[in-house]
Every structure is written in structure tokens, then in C-alpha cells.
Structure 1
Amino acid sequence: MMKAQIIKLDTALYFALYKPKRRKWFNWLMLMLSKSGNGGLYVILALLNGYFMGSDGSAFVQMVLVAFAIERPLYFVMKKHFARIRPCDCLAVKAMLTPSDKFSLPSGHSAGAWLYATCLIDVYPVLTIPLLIWAAGVSLSRVLVGVHYPIDVVLGALMGSGCALLAIGILGEL
């Protein structure tokens, strides 16, 4: 009973948030935020940190690698376990982009963004607010472009942050 109520609420929240007929600039912004969480940015920033920040940069790269080494297998196991069909594939709504797979729970973009933001905040605490806004924006954009339910991105955010904190704990603070 509780599960059905949560799914009903999650679906209602999805329809409250997903409005593909918004202004073009807003949809473009959401697509760009979503794309910023694709993963390429993480590699570029890690390499730049590793190169320019000396031992701190090397430690940061190590932290990110450990965090993703924890997160990626967990992500794939959870995706397969939950096997939740994306809203754009089961609710007769067309998403603004084509997702890379058919399952939505958890959101890999949200997990990656929160993981990376958490690791960066550990190294650059002065950037906490912009990094939190960016990670939240990536997560929200996944709902606003039509490929995730709200619970997908919340679980992804918790998973990504948790994996980053675990990696930080394993390696020690920089």
C-alpha cells in the first residue's frame, strides 16, 4: 500500500515539474545542465586538478576514482534491481532528450553530479554554494527534461554524496 502511494506521489510530482512547452531558453538551460552531468566534464576537471594542483590534485584524482569505483557498481546493481521504466517510456510523454538506457532508478547523472560536487567541496570549500547549486541543477534538470521521476534523482543524489563521503573517509581529508 505504502509503495503504491509513493509511486502515485512521485508520478504526480513528475507531471507537476515536467512541462515541455516552457520557454525555449529555459528548456535549453535544462538540457545544458543535464549535459554537464554526462561525465566528460568530470574527466577534464580531474585531469586539470591532477596537473595544476600538485599533490592536492593527485589526492583529489585518487578520491574521485575511489568514489566512482564504489558508486558505479552500486549504480548498475540498483538499476538492474529496481528496473523502473523511465517516465518518458511508460507515461506517454516525450522527453526532450533520448536517455542512454531504459531504466530510471537511480539517476546516474544525479549520482555523478553529487559525487563530484562533494569531492570538489572537500578540496575547495569556498566553492560549496556554486557546487551545490550545480549538482541540484543537474538533478532537477533530469526531471525537467522528462527522463526521471523525482525519487530517481533524490536517490541518485544520496547515493553519489554517500559514495563520495565514503571515499573521503577511506582516503582521509586532503
Structure 2
Amino acid sequence: MTQVMKAKLAELDTALYFVVFCPKPRNWFRLIALGLSKSGNGGLYVLVAIACALFLEPLGQQFALTVMVAFVIERPLYFYFKNRFARLRPCDCYAVKALLTPSDKFSLPSGHSAGAWLYATCLIEHLPLATFPLMIWATGVSLSRVIVGVHYPLDVVLGAIMGIACASVAILMLGSL
């Protein structure tokens, strides 16, 4: 990719960020965005996987194993790319305050988006009837990260692609056992 193309992509990404970012949302909108963002923090993933493994044998155990393998693949990639790209968060580049404090200083890829789409993909594999609500939730988690001001749109798109890819690899790996 040429420097001109990279600059144009960054310009478009920044413009989209300012279309989606909401520095002073209404209280209900702020609560929804923050709630969706927090639902992608990871603690819920662990609780649901454990509950599934304990109460939905053997399907729940297969799901929990799939999620665990997918995260074992995703986490090292996430940290590698996060530090390799070292893209500063939009809330650190512009005179705008995010609605929450991010856990680190880099934004690409979005770990919340990667995790949400990884989890949704694994759940969809085991509970296809839940496809639509899971896709809405994962999209909501991803969008919330831009709305609250801690990610650019490209960060969440690449995070989503990474999460879906890692889940798909885990599903293929475990399906061939």
C-alpha cells in the first residue's frame, strides 16, 4: 500500500470516527454504549462458557473448548498487532475526551471487537438459532467502542475480522479431531 493510499485511508477513518463518536450523548444513549462496551470486557465470556460447560453437556463442553482454543489463537495475535501497529487512540490524538478510560494506549486492532466476534462466532457454531441476536450484540460491542471514543472504525472492523478468523480456525481444528 502506498503512502498516499495509507494517508487517504487514515483520513477516511478519522472522518468516519467523527461521524460515529458521540462526545456528549444523551444519558440513555451513553448507558447503552457503555453497557455494550462493558459486555465485551471478557468476564461475561468466562461465566457463560463455564455455565455452558457445566449445564449443557456435551454441547456446552464443546463450545467452551472451542472458545478456549480460539482465544489461545487470538490473544497472541492481538498483542502482536496492537504493538506492531502502535496506532494511538483517537481520544489521545484529538482534543476530545472519551467516555471511558481505555486499558492501554494503542487502538489497532480493537480487542473488544475481536473478542465479541470470536465469541459470537463460536456460539453461532453451536447455537445457530441465536445467529441474529449474537450478530447484533457483536456489532453493538464493536460500534460502542467508536461511540465512546476509544477506537477508530477501522480498528473495530479489523478486530471483528480477526475474531471471526480465529474462531473459524478453532472450529475447523476441533471439528477435525
TM-score, normalization by structure 1:
0.98
Residue-by-residue CA offset, 1:39-96 (whole Å, 9 max, x unaligned): 0000000001000111211111110110000000000000010000000011111000
Tell me how far apart the structure 2 counterparts of residues 128 and 61 of structure 1 sit (CA, whole Å): 17
Tell me how far apart the structure 2 counterparts of residues 61 and 121 of structure 1 sit (CA, whole Å): 13
Tell me how far apart the structure 2 counterparts of residues 5 and 88 of structure 1 sit (CA, whole Å): 20
Amino acid at match of 2:112: H
Tell me how far apart the structure 2 counterparts of residues 92 and 79 of structure 1 sit (CA, whole Å): 23
1:72 partnered with 2:68: no
Tell me how far apart the structure 2 counterparts of residues 77 and 64 of structure 1 sit (CA, whole Å): 20
Map residues 44-63 of structure 1 onto 2, 5 A cutoff: 44-63=47-66
1:109 partnered with 2:109: no
Runs (4 or more) in structure 1 with deviation over 4 Å come to none
Amino acid at match of 1:71: E
Q: 1:169 aligns with which of 159, 168, 172?
A: 172
Tell me how far apart the structure 1 counterparts of residues 52 and 41 of structure 2 sit (CA, whole Å): 19
1:156 partnered with 2:159: yes
Tell me how far apart the structure 2 counterparts of residues 100 and 21 of structure 1 sit (CA, whole Å): 21
Shift of 1:20: 1.6
1:8 partnered with 2:11: yes
**RMSD between superposed Cα atoms in Å:** 1.1
Give the gaps of 5 or more residues in structure 1. Answer: none
Partner of 1:137: 140
Amino acid at match of 2:131: T
Tell me how far apart the structure 2 counterparts of residues 26 and 166 of structure 1 sit (CA, whole Å): 35
Give the gaps of 5 or more residues in structure 2. Answer: none
Tell me how far apart the structure 2 counterparts of residues 129 and 72 of structure 1 sit (CA, whole Å): 26
Residue-by-residue CA offset, 1:23-53 (whole Å, 9 max, x unaligned): 1100111000000000000000000100011
1:18 partnered with 2:4: no
1:41 partnered with 2:44: yes
Question: 2:50, 2:64 within 8 Å by CA — same for their partners in 1?
Answer: yes
Shift of 1:22: 2.0
Identity rate of aligned residues, in percent? 66
1:95 partnered with 2:98: yes
